[in-house]
Amino acid sequence: MKKIVSVMLILLSGINVYAQNTYVFFGSFNRDKNTEGIYVYELDIIKGNLSKVTSVKGILNPSFLTLAPNGQYLFACTESKTKDAGSVSSFKFNPEKKSLTFINSQRTGGENPVYITAHKNGKWLINGNYTEGSVSVYPVSENGLIEPRVQNFQYSEGSTDPDRQERSHIHSTVFSPDFNYVFAPDLGADKIRAYQFENNKTEPLTEIPFKQAPLGSGPRHFTFHPNGKFAYCVEEMGGAVSAYSYDSGKLESIQRINTHPDQLKDNFENSDIHISPDGRYLYASNRGSENNIAIFSIQNDGTLKTIGYQKTGGKHPRVFTLDETGKFLIATNSVSGDAFVFKRNEETGLLKKVGKKIKIFGVSSVQIRKY
């Protein structure tokens, strides 16, 4: 009898695992909040196809999305193109009902918020405002409600390119693996700004010394290696990835490597960067004339070695992401308005397009999660 019960439990356990669904969330430059702005799709983990589940209107230009650690809430940056009118918004996602419901919004104090990240405890959000060059901090209540911002760090200095770097442009806000620090690449000032984060304070961020990026490089997005010992920044203007060793809030440069073949001299427009969950490969997207994802293997000392390039199937791959298993990479092409699913070879790191493309006007951001 015990054997029968054990077999039944194993079978039921298998059914529960199999019943899990993988959902993909897309933001877009919809230009008009009366049209669809955020889309939810389900990913077929066998064939790689995406099937639309739901969408929401009433939000303008949700250019970047992030999920709460528990997956219950989706947070969006909404670019306004109007002074001081940018906002961050919260939605509740119900995987059983396959519904996405608006909760509330808060002003960011900037025109164009372009990045938002959540603390692992789900109680804090931090966003970067591009146009004005600022970093804002918000408490989040247990029901996903975003409270008014409690901190705003404003910067003004620029760098060497008068056209692109006339002033500060914060382009991302990223927690360290232990969530004790936050790093904010400043494209306009060629700095990676740094902060200590103290969860028990009402104003949790304290500025600490920044890391100088190469002049004219335009640091944009930032990520940490799963082992917590290395960090990487993709540089929009410089067409490169800078690698750093990392320890307790301090970055030390160890390498700078191009994301493109040596014969390409300009029009790089690098955008996003991610590392596979196994820590073996790094991916960085190139917009401009390339429209591809550069693939690197990560060496034991944290340095990178170029493996190859994968076309994203469209124009202007602004944001991409990997699922938690590392089996899939999904890329968004904002100018051509489409998204593609790629299967990742876990041994070689190379990518292969699977499934069918989906069309989303101005698709700008993507997040993926298993429920």
Tell me the pLDDT tens digit for each residue of 328-345. Answer: 999 999 999 999 999 999
Around Cβ 99, how many Cβ atoms within 10 Å? 14
Map residue 149 onto helix, strand or coil. coil
Angle, CA of 300, 275 and 168, to the nearest 5°: 110
The two three-digit tokens of residue 371, written as one number: 């429920």
Q: Contact 68/25 with Cβ under 8 angstroms?
A: no
Map residue 5 onto helix, strand or coil. helix
Q: What is the mean pLDDT of residues 158-175?
A: 97
Q: Contact 246/228 with Cβ under 8 angstroms?
A: yes
| Per-residue pLDDT band at 271 (split at 50, 70, 90) | very high
Residue with tokens 């990479």: 329
pLDDT at res. 218? 98
Sign of CA dihedral 100, 105, 108, 111: positive
pLDDT at res. 19? 62
Q: What is the mean pLDDT of residues 149-168?
A: 97
What single-letter amino acid sits at 294? Answer: A
- On the question of pLDDT at 44 being above 60, the answer is yes
- On the question of pLDDT at 3 being above 60, the answer is no
Q: What is the mean pLDDT of residues 55-78?
A: 97
| Per-residue pLDDT band at 93 (split at 50, 70, 90) | very high
Map residue 74 onto helix, strand or coil. strand
The two three-digit tokens of residue 38, written as one number: 């955020």
pLDDT at res. 18? 45
Cα–Cα distance for residue pair 286/284, rounded to 1 Å: 7
In this prediction, what percent of the chain has a pLDDT beyond 70? 95
* Burial of 7 (C-beta count, 10 Å sphere; 0-12/13-18/19+): exposed
Mean pLDDT over each residue of the chain, to the nearest integer: 94
Q: What is the mean pLDDT of residues 234-252?
A: 97
pLDDT at res. 263? 86
| Per-residue pLDDT band at 126 (split at 50, 70, 90) | very high
